[in-house]
């Protein structure tokens, strides 16, 4: 009897479904190129701030080596945001370019060779995820949101803490344009320059000057928002709210024949203090998205370690750990969070710790059930017969084989963590003002929701978009990693 030697119908054959895969690759390459162009455009527009950020980074490194005490006195978290944004803005285009180049070359190679090849489980799962169009769109949106969070100092039009001239700027609807007089008076230095000479003093003053340039975003002069203004001789008459004031033309940066005012646009409007909503939503994404990522990372790591240990060793260790898990799951998570925050106060670090401490139990139980089914299989018994240590068996053989449910749980949990943090901030128990987070921005606008809807609406849309996208990504990852869901 002659055996059929045709092309096998194994899922490891890349020839099946090649059309959709090539279509998704085209879409991926197109998105990579669009992202690359966007990053290069931001880099070109903000070239001065990027160069100042790198210069201040090198100056800070030199000052930290020569005079650590002087460095600690002037270091702030705000300058760290500029350093992170500059590094991200330079590194991501390089990575995107390499990925796009590799994808394009691989696509060309596949078109030329078109031979069947055996794929690893990881590549099979990746290709299955690439066929999940909705999950790909959600991943693209999450990438944009995280990029906006990293690049907040460069793309936010205003500082999220500015509340100057709120008689003019308060409660302005979206797309409002206001005139701002440019004063000769420079903006106040956050840290005064030090007197004296020497290498340490020079480095310190250079760093302080760079801090000031970055904080003012290369706009060193103070501005004054006005509803309207007119020039009368050597005097400028302007109105702020119901008040009419005068200022000498000599106190402005321009003159009659020069530009004495600029227009500022508030794309998403302003709040009751005149702060720009768009800037606060962008900066708020740094808090909300970073808390979601850190909490899931910590809770998943902790749950995986405890679940693997409990399932592998069994006995009294398993009984003790699972009883602890049962108690913590039975205890209301929100009530436990409120107790911890009421006892120790509320800060970003405490919120991360609290949400991590109350979120690892489900992952531990999932991992334990996986380990119980894996530890009796032949490859684990073979490892034990070879005399391998328990630590090596756990981290080399058991833990990697439990990653599928862990990854699914992690992607699905990020959205719920962001919702929990937003709820705590809305109740005043999370991130405290004036530090912006999506939850406390919504809280600030809840009393004026009908008249000034934009204050709470836009951060609410940001939360909705983020949570839905993470859930869609979780569905896509689950379908890609589940062999029963692969086509």
Residue spans of beta strands (DSSP E) within 29-121: none
9 contacts: CB under 8 Å, gap ≥ 6: 16
Question: Looking at per-residue confidence, does 207 or 428 come out higher?
Answer: 207
Report how far apart, in Å, the C-alpha atoms of 363 and of each of 54, 232, 406, 407 are. Answer: 41, 71, 7, 10
| For the chain, domain boundaries | 171-200+216-266, 277-485
Task: Reduce the DSSP state of residue 226 to 3 states and report it.
Answer: strand
Assigned token pair, 214: 């970055």
Instruction: Give the single-character DSSP code of 163.
Output: -
Instruction: Give the single-character DSSP code of 173.
Output: P
Q: What's the CA dihedral at 396, 402, 404, 407 to 10 degrees? A: -90
Q: What angle do CA 117, 120, 121 make, to 5 degrees?
A: 135
Given a cut of 50, whether residue 5 has pLDDT beyond it is: no
Given a cut of 70, whether residue 254 has pLDDT beyond it is: no
Pairing of strands 261-266, 243-248: unpaired
Task: Reduce the DSSP state of residue 247 to 3 states and report it.
Answer: strand
Q: What would the pLDDT profile of 278-289 be if each residue is shown by its tens digit?
A: 999 999 998 888
Pairing of strands 243-248, 235-240: antiparallel
Q: What would the pLDDT profile of 156-167 be if each residue is shown by its tens digit?
A: 988 888 887 888
Q: What would the pLDDT profile of 181-234 be if each residue is shown by its tens digit?
A: 888 877 765 667 777 777 888 888 888 888 888 888 767 778 889 988 888 888
Mean pLDDT of 12-38: 64
Residue spans of beta strands (DSSP E) within 89-205: 176-186
336 contacts: CB under 8 Å, gap ≥ 6: 328, 354, 358
Which range among 1-5, 127-131, 229-233 has the greatest average pLDDT? 229-233
CA pair distance 265, 267, nearest whole angstrom: 6
Residue 104 confidence (pLDDT): 66
* Other residues' Cβ atoms within 10 Å of the Cβ of residue 481: 20
Q: Is the pTM of this model over 0.75?
A: yes
Task: Reduce the DSSP state of residue 436 to 3 states and report it.
Answer: coil
* φ/ψ of residue 328, rounded to 5: -70, -35
Task: Specify whether the CB–CB gap between 384 and 427 falls below 8 A.
Answer: no
Which CATH number is 277-485's, of 3.40.1370.10, 3.80.30.20, 1.10.3720.10, 3.30.428.10? Answer: 1.10.3720.10
Task: Reduce the DSSP state of residue 258 to 3 states and report it.
Answer: coil
Handedness of CA 406, 400, 300, 119 (dihedral sign): negative
Handedness of CA 215, 217, 219, 220 (dihedral sign): positive
394 contacts: CB under 8 Å, gap ≥ 6: 308, 309, 312
* Other residues' Cβ atoms within 10 Å of the Cβ of residue 178: 20
Task: Specify whether the CB–CB gap between 486 and 129 falls below 8 A.
Answer: no
Q: What would the pLDDT profile of 356-400 be if each residue is shown by its tens digit?
A: 888 888 888 988 888 888 887 788 888 888 887 778 888 787 877
Q: Which value, in Å, is the radius of gyration of the alpha carbons in the chain?
A: 28
Q: Average model confidence (pLDDT) for the chain?
A: 82
Mean pLDDT of 74-101: 87
Residue 110 confidence (pLDDT): 53
Q: What's the CA dihedral at 344, 348, 354, 358 to 10 degrees? A: 160
Counting every residue written for the chain, the total comes to 487
Residue 433 confidence (pLDDT): 81
CA pair distance 214, 79, nearest whole angstrom: 8
Task: Specify whether the CB–CB gap between 129 and 135 falls below 8 A.
Answer: yes
Task: Reduce the DSSP state of residue 246 to 3 states and report it.
Answer: strand
Residue 51 confidence (pLDDT): 94
CA pair distance 8, 261, nearest whole angstrom: 73
């Amino acid at each position: 009897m002659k055996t059929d030697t045709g092309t096998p119908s194994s899922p490891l054959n890349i020839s099946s479904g090649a059309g959709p895969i090539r279509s998704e690759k085209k879409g991926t390459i197109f998105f990579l190129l669009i992202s690359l162009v966007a990053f290069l455009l931001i880099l070109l527009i903000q070239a001065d701030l990027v160069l100042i950020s790198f210069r201040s980074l090198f100056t800070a490194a030199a000052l930290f080596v020569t005079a650590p005490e002087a460095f600690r006195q002037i270091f702030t978290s705000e300058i760290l945001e500029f350093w992170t944004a500059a590094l991200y803005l330079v590194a991501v285009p390089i990575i995107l370019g390499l990925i796009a180049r590799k994808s394009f070359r691989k696509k060309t190679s596949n078109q030329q060779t078109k031979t069947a090849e055996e794929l690893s489980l990881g590549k099979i799962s990746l290709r299955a995820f690439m066929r999940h169009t909705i999950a790909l769109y959600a991943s693209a949106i999450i990438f944009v949101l995280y990029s906006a969070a990293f690049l907040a100092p460069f793309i936010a039009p205003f500082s999220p803490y500015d509340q100057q001239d709120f008689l003019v700027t308060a409660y302005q609807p979206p797309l409002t344009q206001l005139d701002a007089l440019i004063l000769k008076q420079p903006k106040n230095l956050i840290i005064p320059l030090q007197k004296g000479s020497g290498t340490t003093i020079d480095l310190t003053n250079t760093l302080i000057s760079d801090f000031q340039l970055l904080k003012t975003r290369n706009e060193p002069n103070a501005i004054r928002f006005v509803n309207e203004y007119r020039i009368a001789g050597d005097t400028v008459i302007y109105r702020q709210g119901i008040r009419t004031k005068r200022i000498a033309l000599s106190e402005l940066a321009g003159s009659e024949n020069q530009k004495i005012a600029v227009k500022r646009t508030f794309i998403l409007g302003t709040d009751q203090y005149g702060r720009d909503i768009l800037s606060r939503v962008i900066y708020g994404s740094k808090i909300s998205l970073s808390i979601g990522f850190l909490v899931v990372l910590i809770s998943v790591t902790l749950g995986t370690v405890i679940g693997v240990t409990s399932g592998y060793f069994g006995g009294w260790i398993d009984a003790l750990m699972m009883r602890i898990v049962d108690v913590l799951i039975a205890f209301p998570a929100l009530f436990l969070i409120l107790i911890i925050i009421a006892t120790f106060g509320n800060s970003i670090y405490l919120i991360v710790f609290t949400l991590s401490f109350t979120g690892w139990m489900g992952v531990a139980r999932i991992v334990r059930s996986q380990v119980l089914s894996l530890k009796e299989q032949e490859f684990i018994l073979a490892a034990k017969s070879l005399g391998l240590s328990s630590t090596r068996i756990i981290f080399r053989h058991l833990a990697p084989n439990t990653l599928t449910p862990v990854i699914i749980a992690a992607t699905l949990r990020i959205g719920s963590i962001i919702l929990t943090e937003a709820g705590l901030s809305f109740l005043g128990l999370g991130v405290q003002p004036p530090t912006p987070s999506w939850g406390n921005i919504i809280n600030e606008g809840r009393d004026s929701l009908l008249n000034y809807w934009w204050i709470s609406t836009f951060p609410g849309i940001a939360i909705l978009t983020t949570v839905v996208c993470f859930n869609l990504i979780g569905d896509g990852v689950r379908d890609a990693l589940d062999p029963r869901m692969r086509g």
